Amino acid sequence: MNEHSLKKKLSKLNIGGLHYFDSIGSTNDEALAWATDGAPDFSIVVADEQTRGRGRLDRKWFTPKGSGLAFSLILRPSAALIPHLSRTVGLAALSITDSCSGLGLAPRIKWPNDILLNGKKTAGILVETVWSGDQVDSLVIGMGLNIYKTSVPPAEILQFPAISLEDALGKEVPSREEVLFSILNAFLCWRERLGTNELLHAWDEMLAFRGDQVQVQAGSGIPVTGELLGLESDGSLRLRDAHGNSVIIRFGDVSLRPSA
């Protein structure tokens, strides 16, 4: 992957701008700085390697050289999209699942921000906001995908098992440019439908562990256990606890796993 091959591959999409790095700390940090500096809508930062890739709450995201796909999109939402921005992580997740489904795989979304293949994490999403006073100026949507086997971190440093697209496919994977193109293409289609029931339904359908007992840890509070029922219209998660009560889990530092 290099700037030339990327530009060529993405030329059919109406992207705002492209910054490519052989190596960078974090594409989200670069995109946040560029957004603050006036980057056009749908600009993209892509890196072959991240040395300080971030997950939520500054957890680490591994992107060793030549192995994965790490990129950040800058969105300048129109007034029509502003009321639906809490669905942005779903929009990003669906773009990745569409791309994986197109390869014949059966992805699932582990709410809120993980994509699973064969029950293992293959991608993570980190959405960050640039504010202008109390208005949203822009959003930075970082996506990290494990493409080749070499992108998967050692098991002992993971809280949840990981897998690469190459492992899941069991054969040669398309190029990273190709995978990026299909994710961006899906993103542009879903973005038009951010506020629709169609998007909510597609997102809901893709949820991992639906109907299963799960445990959700929010921050340092007491974990909530219940049956995973589905999504609220803003993208929050609905569980049914042991007493039959509905419990709504909002975004934040939330981690979800099957309950033992």
**Cβ closest to ligand BT5, residue 160 vs residue 240:** 160
The helix (run of H) or strand (run of E) holding residue 177 is helix 176-191
Applying CB under 6 A, which residues contact ligand BT5? 26-28, 50, 53-56, 59-62, 70-72, 113-114, 121, 124-126, 142-144, 146, 151, 153, 158-159, 162
Least distance (Å) between residue 196 CB and ligand BT5: 26
Cα distance between residue 56 and residue 126, in whole Å = 6
In terms of CB distance, is 219 or 244 closer to ligand BT5? 219
Closest CB 23 distance from ligand BT5, rounded Å: 13
> From the CB of 88, what's the least distance to ligand BT5, in Å?
14
Alpha-carbon gap, residue 132 to 229, rounded angstroms: 36
Task: Give CA–CA dist 164/59, Å, rounded.
Answer: 19
Residue number, nearest CB to ligand BT5: 124
DSSP 212: S
Contact 60, 53 (CB under 8 A): yes
Q: Using the minimum distance from each CB to ligand BT5, give the nearer residue, 25 or 193.
A: 25
Instruction: Between 193 and 218, name the residue whose CB sits nearer to ligand BT5.
Output: 218
Dihedrals φ, ψ of 10, to 5°?
-90, 5
* Residue 13 CB, nearest approach to ligand BT5 (Å): 18
Per the DSSP assignment, residues forming a β-bridge with 139 are 75, 129
Nearer to ligand BT5, 160 or 225 (CB): 160
For the chain, the residue count is 260
